[in-house]
Amino acid sequence: MKKILLCICIFSFCYSSDKDELKNDGYNNTEYSIGLNDKTSFYGLISKTWIKDKDYGESYITVGGLGIIGSLGYGRKYYLSRGRFFSPYVSVTGFGYYLLAIAAIGGVGISGNLGVDITTIKYKDMALKFQFGLFSGYDPFSGRSLVIPASEGPSYIMPSFSMKLYFGK
């Protein structure tokens, strides 16, 4: 029963229609991501992103979460080079986040990511991409790092990796 409920939640989250208000504002591409994504990391484990293509790369609005953890943000992705399969980039995102686990916390974060998009399958206006990179996040108001530190290694950076379903115009 829990698996069925989880599938229903994921599919209802991934639904979008042509009457979407953000599509009317020029955000003509949609991306669904599962994993430690390049925008908000673990605050958007399952996320939906509306993307507007620009000459430098893309600007986006992202929303994600799993109920007790979530985020909403705006950012920009600058491609170092756009290839057919391999596209390295740098991205910056400002986002609000919340965590309702043991103690309810929330705040505003800034994140940066150095990564690569690898396009594995492309069919018409759809693509399956895998994203790998290095994520760093910081909450300037609380002075807290938004990274899960490693036991041996840097405490200000962590890996990001996700699977993305990309839907074009």
pLDDT per residue over 85-110, tens digit each? 999 999 999 999 998 887 888 999 99
Does residue 129 have a pLDDT over 70? yes
**d(C-alpha 105, C-alpha 165), whole Å:** 30
Tokens of 54: 């620009």
Residue 96 located in a structural domain: yes
Can you tell me the mean pLDDT for 2-21? Answer: 46
Residue 57 located in a structural domain: yes
Distance spanning both ends of the chain, measured CA to CA? 36
Residue 133 located in a structural domain: yes
**How much is the pLDDT for 75?**
96
Residue 85 located in a structural domain: yes
Residue 9 located in a structural domain: no
- Residue 117 structural domain: 31-146+156-161
Amino acid code (one letter) for 113? N
Number of domains into which the chain is organized: 1
Residue 52 located in a structural domain: yes
Residue 63 located in a structural domain: yes
Residue 81 located in a structural domain: yes
